[in-house]
Every structure is written in C-alpha cells, then in structure tokens.
Chain A
C-alpha cells in the first residue's frame, strides 16, 4: 500500500480520456484506478492566497461554535475526572434558549441561499458548523486549493488514523471548491479515492486539489493528502454543472 501512484498523465485524468464520464456503479464496470500526477499535486508550502475565510461574526456564532468544538475535542474518546451531568444540564439550557427563537430548518435554508453565505455553513470549512474541523483554504497560482490542518480523535476511523470516509469528505469539499474558484462549479458525479497509506490523526496533514480538465459542463479534478511529505491518499472526481446553475450561483 505504499507505492500505488500511477504514472504521470500529462494529457489528463484516466476517466476523462475515456470520453463520456461513465460513472459505473455496483451493476456496471468498476472504474479503473485514476491516473494521478503527483508532480501536480505536491504538498507545496507558501505562496497561497487565503480564500473563503468568513470573518463577519457580529452575532457571535463562530465564537459559539468554537467553544462547542472545544468541548467536542475535550470529550471525544475522553475519560472524565468530573461529573458531566451538571455540565450537560447547562448545555441543555443553552440549547433550549436557542431553540425557542430558532428559525425552522426550511427558513434557514432559504436565508442561507438568498444571502449566499454558504461557506460559513459548510461541513468542512464552515466556521459556524460544528462538524467542520474547520479546514482553511489557500488558493495557489495553478488553480489548486491547499489546506493544512490537524484532525483530532473525533475524526478517527482505524486506531490512530483518520476515518477513510473523512478523507473522502475532505477531497469532495476541496475539489468542489477549487472548481468553483476556476469558474466551473458543479455537483459530484463520481468520487474515486485511493488510500496509499495511513492518514494520521493529531499530526499536520496537507490536503490539496484542483481541476485538471474541463469539457463543456464537466470538470475532472484531482487531489492528494500528505503527512510529513508522505502521500496518504489521492482522489479524482468528476463534477457536472447543472444546467440551471449560473456561474457563482452554486456552492
């Protein structure tokens, strides 16, 4: 599982080369392993421009989520030298109070998409989303996004390792957003992830990815995750822009 990177493919991704974006599936042929060019996807340091950073926090929502994340980190896989019940009671009171004045999910969805502030709510980078690590993007000169982060126990799959599904989640997010910055926002048609080695918990990792080929409304994108210079995982995604989406109208 250490040397699973295919040969360089300067002409573009494997799936793109076959033409029509066959998305396979359990009843169809299994897609071949994507051909990834590690030279394109190296874990560069520096020279990136911070993007998608939400800073407007008048309501204190980012602060609130940050504090919830602290509790999340302190309690995931934790053992306690303190009584949790009184603490939980106070959290319940906070939640009760918020709930009393909360908009319905449907109203919140409408508000989110009318003011186009999706990124603050994204499950991977959103500062107001408890699920998010959060990841922070830099945009590189070549159109790739890059993020450096350290994941805690709440993202664990195998012992001491990042959950394989969390790896896939980060890839889908960074590829989709890199497409957006390239002006080719779309929805995922397929995502193929290859795991070359462990993605470690509690150590800095670099996630990077961006579009490698565009054809009409289709865009193929590739990404990689590194830990200390070691390749952990690679991914290729095919994204398609729905006809009804105008540029910048999507996520």
Chain B
C-alpha cells in the first residue's frame, strides 16, 4: 500500500493569494518539434472544428459530414498507423505531442503551453471554450482535474523527476469560468525515494478557482538503481 503522508512542510506550496508572485522571468518549458508532416496544421483544424461544433446551433451540416467522412476514409485507406514512440518512451517530444493536455498533435488537448520559472514553478495561461463546459458557463470540474494532473506532472518534470499519479486531491473553491483567461501554477513540494508530492492552483484573475495536491510514484527502472527500492506503506 502506498503511503499518502503529507509532505513535511505545512506551508502553502504555491502562493494562493498572488498568482503573479513567481515573477516575470519565465521561459517556455519545451518546444514540441514540427516534423514537417503537416500533422500540426491538421490538429489545428480539428481543434477549430471542435470549437465550432461545440454547442452549435447549425441547422444542417450534412455537406460537411460528407467531406469529413471522405477525408477519414482516405486516411484510413492510406494506412496510418500507431507510432510506437507514443507507447514506448516518456518525455520524448513524440510522446508529449500526443498528450491529451499539452500535445500539439492531439486535437483533444487545449493545449496547455507551460512556462517554467527559475524557482521551478510551472505556469500555463489559457482560455477554455464551450467544449470544456460542465455547469452553465463554467469549466467542467473533471477538466480542471485533468489539467491539474498534467500541471503536476510538468512541475515534476521541471524538477527533473517523472512519476505516475498515485493520488490526486482536487479542491474546488469557486466556479472556473469558460471563455476567460485562466492561470495554472504548479510546483513540486518534496520527494522521498520514488515518491513525489506536488501542488498546483488555478486562478481566474485574482479569484482562486481550485487547488490540488498529488502524490506521484517514479516508475522503476527510469532512474538510477539506488532509487529502485520498494514503496512501502
């Protein structure tokens, strides 16, 4: 059983009162390369379609259905296949590109565009459209959780570690608005052997919408042998 002890520090891992507290010297965390295949442009159009059909009031889109079906048939016939890289490796650009929260090649992702600060804080600013809606005019609580999980993973990556989520605790403080600028900030709090604790906040302007803490476990064999010891509860 995995222990879920709190990190020793009782301090807020991220300043929940001042979303601008980490300063202005952030830099893009990483660049997802364009392999020149046209995949990025395709994903961008799919994302655009995603936004247009969300909650749409169109009366007849059968012509569009015809075209898109033809294109899907064409792709299917051309024999696209699964890229083994997307299954086999962590952290490589190909793997990141397919990620449902940050992957630029994945039409499901917003995508998050993380910026990293010298103190290890990872920040992402974004606006979410109608396709991310839960309650009226609000971002779906599960979407908040999805993006939090990714932000925590990014904070771990910024601290040089990789982990799989063992638990995720999300607290919702105020409804998260759709169609308005949102700011995620995440930071790793502590590690102990293969255990990693991280936390994040979500703000809309000065309003704290939600906060989270997660426990992550580093997979065996991904790091030095001396880290490869059992997790005991």
- A→B interface (CB under 8 Å): 1, 3-4, 23-27, 29-33, 58-61, 63-65, 67-68, 70-72, 74-85, 87-88, 90-95, 97-99, 101-103, 105-109, 111-113, 121-124, 128-131, 153-161, 163-166, 168-173, 176, 187-195, 250-251
- Separation of A94 and B48 alpha carbons in the complex (Å): 10
The reply to whether B107 and A130 contact each other, CB–CB distance below 8 Å, is yes
Contacts of A1 in B (CB 8 A): 2, 166, 217, 231
B18 at the interface (CB under 8 A from A): no
Which of A68, A76, A107, A163 has a CB less than 8 Å from the CB of B49? A68
Contacts of B178 in A (CB 8 A): 105, 109
Chain B proximity of A110: nearest CB distance (Å): 9
- Separation of A108 and B46 alpha carbons in the complex (Å): 19
Question: What are 21 inter-chain pairs, A to B, with CB distance below 8 A?
Answer: A24-B171, A26-B16, A59-B60, A67-B68, A75-B42, A77-B85, A78-B80, A80-B39, A84-B42, A91-B42, A94-B67, A95-B52, A101-B58, A123-B132, A154-B108, A156-B86, A158-B164, A164-B168, A165-B100, A168-B146, A172-B134
B229 at the interface (CB under 8 A from A): no
Interface secondary structure of B, over-half rule: mixed
Contacts of A4 in B (CB 8 A): 1-2
Chain A proximity of B169: nearest CB distance (Å): 5
The reply to whether A103 and B56 contact each other, CB–CB distance below 8 Å, is yes
B28 at the interface (CB under 8 A from A): no
- Separation of A173 and B2 alpha carbons in the complex (Å): 26
Contacts of A160 in B (CB 8 A): 87
The reply to whether A27 and B134 contact each other, CB–CB distance below 8 Å, is no
Question: With A163-B149, A168-B142 in contact, do A188 and B38 touch (Cβ < 8 Å)?
Answer: no
Chain A proximity of B89: nearest CB distance (Å): 7
- Separation of A91 and B201 alpha carbons in the complex (Å): 37
Q: Please tell me the number of chain B residues within 8 Å of chain A, measured between CB atoms.
A: 106
The reply to whether B65 and A60 contact each other, CB–CB distance below 8 Å, is yes
The reply to whether A156 and B100 contact each other, CB–CB distance below 8 Å, is yes
Q: Considering the complex, give the chain A residue whose CB is closest to the CB of B166.
A: A195
Chain B proximity of A162: nearest CB distance (Å): 9
Contacts of A79 in B (CB 8 A): 37, 80-81, 83
The reply to whether A192 and B83 contact each other, CB–CB distance below 8 Å, is no
Which of B90, B133, B166 has a CB less than 8 Å from the CB of A158? B90
Contacts of A108 in B (CB 8 A): 54-57, 130
Q: Considering the complex, give the chain A residue whose CB is closest to the CB of B101.
A: A165
B196 at the interface (CB under 8 A from A): no
Question: With A1-B166, A1-B231, A82-B78 in contact, do A173 and B69 touch (Cβ < 8 Å)?
Answer: no
- In B3-21, the 8 Å CB interface with A consists of 4, 6, 11-14, 16
Which of A155, A163, A194 has a CB less than 8 Å from the CB of B167? A194
B192 at the interface (CB under 8 A from A): no
The reply to whether A156 and B99 contact each other, CB–CB distance below 8 Å, is yes
Encode B22-60 as 1/0 by CB contact (under 8 A) with A.
000000000000000111011101101110111111111
The reply to whether B38 and A63 contact each other, CB–CB distance below 8 Å, is no
- Separation of A87 and B41 alpha carbons in the complex (Å): 10
The reply to whether B55 and A80 contact each other, CB–CB distance below 8 Å, is no
Question: With A61-B56, A169-B142, A189-B172 in contact, do A95 and B49 touch (Cβ < 8 Å)?
Answer: yes
Which of A63, A80, A164, A189 has a CB less than 8 Å from the CB of B80? A80
